[in-house]
Amino acid sequence: MTLKFTGNMTYKKCELCPRECGADRTVSHGFCLGGACANVTRAAKHFWEEPVISGKNGSGTIFFSGCTMRCVYCQNSEISRDISGRNVSDEELCEIILSLQNDGAENINLVNPVHFAPSIKNALLAAKPSIPVVWNSGGWERVETLREMEGLIDIYLPDFKYFSDEKALKYSGIGDYAQTAANAINEMFRQVGDVVIENGLMKKGVIVRHLVLPSMSVQSVKALRFMRENLPDGVWVSLMGQYIPAGDVSSENFPEINRKITIKEYNTVLREFRNLGFDGFCQELSSASEDFVPVLKD
Ligand code: SF4
């Protein structure tokens, strides 16, 4: 089987992400470090997503190397700042998808997929998985690239990281984050619509993840208000509090985020999350467990 690129995406003069760096990835690599085929670090069933994603049998997770962003606190910096995995052809990616499906995975979970969208599209068109496909991304994405994936993705799981573009630049090396992410998430919702859950498993819809950072509970409150005003009601939100310092974070260069968040900081954000009436999930940091707890409107 030989797969050919379909649609308008290309690695030749790459503009897949909002960085639009124009790299010719057939001879070199772009800012994201991606070349002309997908690079997979790990493919296995994963049990630590929201319960509606992990289910009983685990989410069939495919971790891609490289990244379009440079978050200083990246929890996966050894994967995101290097092409540390295995180069796979589109045919091999198709086989990985089918093998996760045959292994009983609840879904195919594409982690950090944006910079390999053309390969993923080819592999999905060939694999035609019978289980839901999850696009698990950072939210800083181009609508044009997302449109190319229409009909192939069932569940969108983007981050919404920042309200302030100044913080986005400081901590992730990107500009115009909030509005770019809002445009992307609106496109995601246009494609898949409201959340559908059957027998405790998500079949389609959009869940936006927001990770609360230390010293930034006010920023998180603003981010939630921005989401409420700029995203459709049918988008769910997952509020996350499990930040730990990682990547480049140290007491020398980013002291303000070189710690876990406090329960007080988290509860400030949690209160706003509930006040704004989001459907979704939150983590209860005040309990012994940090598992996801469903939050649903009546
Ligand atoms: S996906 Fe990579 S190569 Fe393409 S525009 Fe973004 S950073 Fe550049």
In this prediction, residues 129-138 reach a mean pLDDT of: 98
Residues with CB under 6 A from ligand 1: 14-17, 19-21, 23, 25, 30-32, 34, 68, 115
- Tens digits of residue pLDDT in 147-156: 999 999 999 9
> Residues 283-294, buried b or exposed e (16+ Cβ, 10 A)?
bbbeeeeeebee
Ligand 1 midpoint to CA 17 (Å)? 5
Helix or strand or coil: residue 142? coil
Residues 36-45: what's their mean pLDDT?
96
Residue 80 buriedness (CB in 10 A; 0-12 / 13-18 / 19+): buried
Q: With contact defined as beta carbons under 8 Å apart, do 153 and 206 qualify?
A: no
> Ligand 1: distance of its center to the CA of 274 in Å?
37
Which residue among 8, 11, 12, 21 has the greatest number of ligand 1 atoms within 8 angstroms of its CB, and so is best to mutate? 21
What's the confidence (pLDDT) of residue 16? 97
- Measure the CA–CA gap between 234 and 251, rounded to whole angstroms: 40
pLDDT (tens digit per residue) in 54-73 = 999 999 999 999 999 999 99
- CA-proximal residue: ligand 1, atom 1 (nearest): 115
pLDDT of residue 286: 60
What does the pLDDT average to over 158-173?
A: 97
Nearest C-alpha to atom 6 of ligand 1 is from which residue? 17
Instruction: Read off the pLDDT of each residue in 239-262 and give the average, rounded to a whole number.
Output: 94
Q: Using DSSP, state whether 286 is helix, strand or coil.
A: coil
pTM recorded for the entire structure: 0.94
Q: List the one residue out of 270, 295, 140, 293 whose CA is nearest residue 212.
A: 270
**288 — pLDDT class (breaks 50, 70, 90):** very low
- Ligand 1 nearest atom to the CA of residue 68, by list position: 7
Report the atom number in ligand 1 closest to the C-alpha of 31: 7
Residue-range domains of the chain with CATH: 39-295 (3.20.20.70)
pLDDT the model gives residue 4: 55
Which residue, 170, 265, 277, 157, is CA-closest to 220? 265
Give the whole-angstrom CA distance, residue 246 versus residue 188: 30
Question: For 193-214, what is the mean pLDDT?
Answer: 97
Ligand 1 center–CA 141 separation, angstroms: 11
Distance CA 93, CA 97 (A): 6
Q: 27 CA distance to ligand 1 centroid (A)?
A: 14
Q: Quote the pLDDT of residue 285.
A: 76
